[in-house]
Structure 1
Amino acid sequence: MVLDETDHDRLRREGRCLFIVFKRPHRVLSTCRVNGGLCETLTHLANHQGCEGVAHQVHALDAGTHGRVAAHGRACAEAGLPPESTALMSTAANMQCAALARLSAEELHVRVAATAGVLGNATRAGDPAGWHEEAETSRPVTNRPRSELGSDLGSGPGSDPESSLTPDHRGCGTIVTLVSINQPCTPACLVRAATMVTEAKSTAVLDLRIPSRQGVGLATGTGTDQLAIAAPLPRPGEWERQWAGGHNSLGELLARATHAAVTRALLLQNGLCAELRRNLCAALGRFGCDESLLETCARRTLDDAGAELFVANLVALIHDPRGAAAAYALAEVLELVRVGVLHREIAGEAVLDQAALLAAAIATKPERYALLRDQLMPDLHRPAGEFAALAVVRGFACKWS
């Protein structure tokens, strides 16, 4: 099926493959491990679903160079593409969930086709790596010192950085962006375009406040993201664009189109959107405050009747708009302490202030802020997730007292 066509290329989807057919020679910059890098001899550029996102074992695909070339050949054969002139990226994302964004400015046109999933291996740039590449394979990195796994806020309102290392088995994650520019670009311009596409992809993930699966920070992508950018080679008399930065129109179009395509692909693949991230656990889950902890805290803190009432209404509490707003404010203070913007000497007070605001929001009684702050103060030593959960439970109890 043809999804888009221009005078220089055609975008098609066939089965588990989304690919571009070039109508004229192109310069391509890609992360593809076969026919990748900077190339001017390609006829096709593809994004291929190589496996399902969960529990699908694919053997020998990455077993050294020979395995990669064989896997490339099999995927190209399946889609009817010439392996010698095709650069192909692989993902577990469903090609039916690919999202397309097109933008123009005068004679300049940009198209981004993206597939995206972040539930399984969302990462923040600089998170500890799980693998170390060797000549013919990669081996797991083991016995990392705890100090390398994340930041600890000490005995005060901190968090356990290892708690977020558990994989999410709802699906693995990769963000693949297939980018087309309708006018010739120099190699340097394509490199700059790649940085702009990467920034925009990270912005899309950050805007949804997706947590890293490797630490307590917000994710900037996944551990397996890939991209490819294509622009036609210049014909006699055509000029080449030199720049794709944030101050010129090409950079703007690339960023906006990438952000739009990745955001929509995350909705289609993972069901993630701004509206569904508007809840208490989305804000504080990376610090350990999830539904399970909230229920546990309620049963420890409230009497039996109060705990049962809390649990019965937990979904509504999690999605309470003011509670969600206060939860994100608390999460931001915790993050600013973690990265050092707020210094540790005031960390406890700042977190206590925000936790009391969260409790007052849940209680719908802002006038009880000072009372709730006093009630929460003795528990300030707890880990951040537990402390946040306690604020929610205290607020709920105050609502009916």
Structure 2
Amino acid sequence: MLLDDTDRHALRRQGRFLFAAFKQPHRVLSTCRINGGFREDLTHIANHQSCEAVAHIARHASVFRLGPDAYHDFACAEADLPPATTALMTTAANMQCAVVARAAHAELAVHVAATAGVLGNATRAGDPAGWHERPDGSERVRQVAAKPPPVEAGSGTIVTLVFINRPCTPACLVKAVAVITEGKSTALLDLRLPSLQSSGLATGTGTDQLAIAAPLARAGEWERHWASSHNTLGELLGRATHDAVTRCLLLQNGLCPELRRTICGALSRHGCDEATLRACAATELDAGLAQLFADNLPALLHDPQSAAAAYGLAESVDLARAGVLHLEVAREAILNQAALLAATVAVKPERFAEFREVLRGRRDAEPGVLAALAVVRGFARKWN
């Protein structure tokens, strides 16, 4: 299936493979272990699904036995790609969910072909790492207390193939990588996606990869030097990457702004998930009301005003942990947001002060516990 065709490259999807064949020499910068780094002799860059996202043990074992070099040759042979001149990236994402986004200004054009999934190993830059590379492989340095992914986690890798239609210097491509990474991260931040390694918001996954290509300058052509966000090239790269990754997350993981509009979407990374809410209701409410709460929890979680209040609470927690809200006011600010959440769930904003007084005795609790209590207490007051 031909997905993108220009006078410089042709991008095709073939089974589990997505690959671009260059029609003229390109300068390529990629993260590939084989044929990666800066290259000017590549004929193809490719992405492929190397395994299923969850519990594909037999496939993992076979890939591990082959080793990176032999597997590269094996995979290239499967797609009839020349192994010596192909930069090949791997993912568990479905190539049928690949998206091509385009952006242009005057004579300049950028095409981004992406696959993306974040539910398996989303991380935030600076999260604790679990592995340290050694000459003979990687060793575990700590047992990271990762939050469990959803049962049907989907893939956990963002792969971007980026094509610029005009020659660029090596330094320009390095800067382009930074802008592409920012575009990917803003797509995740716009959806407020949680890291699975910390309580922070995700900026990517632990296995993200990319390749960026620009044609080599011919006689009389000049090379672009700038790809910052102050420059049109940087704008196009950031915009196309953001659009491609956002669309991929919908296709691969079913993630979109509307479905992130929930109380748990805002607060699960701080410890307020459905299990916590049900447990809190069982403790704080009588049996009949607790059952009513549990039966109506899905509708409650998706209430737009309650979700808005929950995101306000989550932002206060984030600002406190970042030090923007200093310690002397952080607890009070979080308490105020929790009271607002309770009043919003109750659909009785005039009772804000009452809820603040109810929650004040628990203000030293962990934010997720305080948030769950606010939701449960708000629900109880909704009907009396």
Same fold (TM over 0.5): yes
Note if contact 2:16-2:94 (Cα within 8 Å) is conserved in structure 1: yes
- Alpha-carbon distance between aligned partners in 2 of 1:253 and 1:172, rounded to the nearest angstrom: 27
Q: Deviations over 1:313-337 (max 9, x none)?
A: 1001000010000000000000101
Give the match for residue 108 of structure 2.
Answer: 108
RCO greater where, 1 or 2, for CA within 8 Å and sep 6 or more? Answer: 1
The one of 293, 314, 318 aligned to 2:276: 293
Give the CA deviation at 1:167. 3.9
Q: Return the letter of the residue paired with 2:105.
A: A
Task: Note if 1:137 corresponds to 2:159.
Answer: no
Alignment of 1:164-243 (within 5 A): 164-169=146-151, 170-243=153-226
Alignment of 1:53-92 (within 5 A): 53-57=53-57, 58-59=60-61, 61=63, 67-92=67-92
Q: Return the letter of the residue paired with 2:189.
A: L
Q: Return the letter of the residue paired with 1:82.
A: P
Q: Return the letter of the residue paired with 2:92.
A: A
The one of 258, 272, 281 aligned to 2:264: 281
The one of 206, 218, 228 aligned to 1:245: 228
Q: Deviations over 1:157-198 (max 9, x none)?
A: xxxxx4x53344423400000000011101001001100000
Give the CA deviation at 1:386. 1.1
- Alpha-carbon distance between aligned partners in 2 of 1:339 and 1:381, rounded to the nearest angstrom: 18
Give the match for residue 49 of structure 1.
Answer: 49
Q: Deviations over 1:79-127 (max 9, x none)?
A: 1100000000100100001111011111111100000000010000000
Note if contact 1:359-1:391 (Cα within 8 Å) is conserved in structure 2: yes
Task: Note if 1:357 corresponds to 2:340.
Answer: yes
Q: Deviations over 1:186-215 (max 9, x none)?
A: 100100110000011000011100100000
Q: Deviations over 1:46-88 (max 9, x none)?
A: 001111100112126457xx81111111110111100000000
Tell me the matched-pair count.
Answer: 381
Unaligned segments of structure 2, at least 5 residues: none
The one of 276, 282, 288 aligned to 1:305: 288
Q: Secondary structure at the match of 1:165?
A: coil
Structure 1 runs, 4 residues or longer, greater than 2 Å off: 59-63, 164-169
- Alpha-carbon distance between aligned partners in 1 of 2:335 and 2:230, rounded to the nearest angstrom: 41
Q: Return the letter of the residue paired with 1:128.
A: P
Note if contact 2:320-2:326 (Cα within 8 Å) is conserved in structure 1: yes
Note if contact 2:94-2:252 (Cα within 8 Å) is conserved in structure 1: yes
Unaligned segments of structure 1, at least 5 residues: 144-148, 150-161
- Alpha-carbon distance between aligned partners in 2 of 1:267 and 1:168, rounded to the nearest angstrom: 16
Q: Secondary structure at the match of 1:12?
A: strand
Give the CA deviation at 1:232. 0.4
- Alpha-carbon distance between aligned partners in 2 of 1:136 and 1:167, rounded to the nearest angstrom: 30
Q: Secondary structure at the match of 2:61?
A: coil
- Alpha-carbon distance between aligned partners in 1 of 2:110 and 2:368, rounded to the nearest angstrom: 43
Q: Return the letter of the residue paired with 2:215.
A: P
Q: Return the letter of the residue paired with 1:15.
A: G
- Alpha-carbon distance between aligned partners in 1 of 2:73 and 2:247, rounded to the nearest angstrom: 30
Q: Deviations over 1:362-401 (max 9, x none)?
A: 0111110000110111111221111100000111111111
Alignment of 1:27-38 (within 5 A): 27-38=27-38
Give the CA deviation at 1:134. 1.2
- Alpha-carbon distance between aligned partners in 2 of 1:74 and 1:93, rounded to the nearest angstrom: 19
- Alpha-carbon distance between aligned partners in 1 of 2:134 and 2:154, rounded to the nearest angstrom: 27
Note if contact 2:91-2:155 (Cα within 8 Å) is conserved in structure 1: no
Q: Secondary structure at the match of 1:203?
A: helix
Note if contact 1:62-1:137 (Cα within 8 Å) is conserved in structure 2: no
Q: Return the letter of the residue paired with 1:52.
A: E
- Alpha-carbon distance between aligned partners in 1 of 2:239 and 2:155, rounded to the nearest angstrom: 25
Note if contact 1:72-1:83 (Cα within 8 Å) is conserved in structure 2: yes
Task: Note if 1:327 corresponds to 2:329.
Answer: no
- Alpha-carbon distance between aligned partners in 2 of 1:5 and 1:244, rounded to the nearest angstrom: 24
Q: Give the CA RMSD over aligned residues.
A: 1.2
Note if contact 2:49-2:93 (Cα within 8 Å) is conserved in structure 1: yes
Change (3 A) 1:168 1:140: farther
- Alpha-carbon distance between aligned partners in 1 of 2:99 and 2:155, rounded to the nearest angstrom: 18
Task: Note if 1:128 corresponds to 2:128.
Answer: yes
Give the match for residue 152 of structure 1.
Answer: none
- Alpha-carbon distance between aligned partners in 2 of 1:85 and 1:171, rounded to the nearest angstrom: 31
Note if contact 2:124-2:203 (Cα within 8 Å) is conserved in structure 1: yes
Q: Deviations over 1:267-293 (max 9, x none)?
A: 000000000000100000001111111
